Amino acid sequence: MSEPNPFVRFSDVMPLEKIAPLKIAVIGAGGIGVPACLCLAKMGVSSLHVWDNDDVGAENVGPQMYGKRVVGRPKTLALGQFLKDQADWCDVTLHNDRFVTQEGAFDDFDVVVSAVDSLEVRKEIWQSISPESRKLLVDPRMGAEVLTVYSIIPQE
């Protein structure tokens, strides 16, 4: 008996041959970054790099996807274990530090997800994408009652 295809429900929307090779950077492993990583991995992305320099706090247990048993652990390590349990086919590289703020820092990535809670840091992320690289920047934002996602493809 063949192994079931975990991506079959996404195949009409997002063909696996198009999404699997994408190299994706996610900056932030909190209320937006964790579900973004989970969705991307479950859709068949094979490579994620995640940056966050924060630890899971008790205040993160309610609004984020972390449980009480990971309080005090670095968010990246807790996320890495969560993704390993949920989508072990995805290669996740964890960076338990702040991302590098220099132009060209994300040139090796096809997609950059800005999952941070500071407009100043969002600006730094945008400025770290080389204008000529023409990467896709996904900038989801969330408030108590609202979630908005902006997808930006820089033009020439």
Rounded Cα–Cα distance for residues 35 and 147 (Å): 12
1 within a domain of the structure (yes/no): no
2 within a domain of the structure (yes/no): no
Q: Where are the beta strands (DSSP E) in the chain?
A: 23-27, 47-51, 91-95, 111-114, 136-142, 147-152
- Number of independent structural domains in the chain: 1
Confidence of residue 14 (pLDDT cuts 50, 70, 90): confident
56 within a domain of the structure (yes/no): yes
Q: Containing domain of residue 17, as a range?
A: 8-152
- CA geometry: angle at 40 spanning 37 and 44, to 5°? 135
Mean pLDDT of the chain: 88
Mean pLDDT throughout 25-35?
Answer: 95
Q: Who wins on pLDDT, 14 or 18? A: 18
Q: Is the pLDDT of residue 147 over 90?
A: no
| pLDDT tens for each residue of 69-108 | 999 999 999 999 999 999 999 999 999 998 887 888 888 8
Percentage of residues in the chain having pLDDT higher than 70: 96
3 within a domain of the structure (yes/no): no
Q: Which CATH number goes with the domain that contains 71? A: 3.40.50.720
59 within a domain of the structure (yes/no): yes
13 within a domain of the structure (yes/no): yes
125 within a domain of the structure (yes/no): yes
Q: Is the pLDDT of residue 45 over 90?
A: yes
Rounded Cα–Cα distance for residues 140 and 117 (Å): 10
Q: How many Cα atoms sit within 13 Å of 22 on the Cβ side? A: 21
Model pTM?
A: 0.86
Q: How many Cα atoms sit within 13 Å of 65 on the Cβ side? A: 19
Per-residue confidence (pLDDT) for residue 144, from 0 to 100: 64
- CA geometry: angle at 71 spanning 66 and 76, to 5°? 65
Contact 75, 52 (CB under 8 A): yes
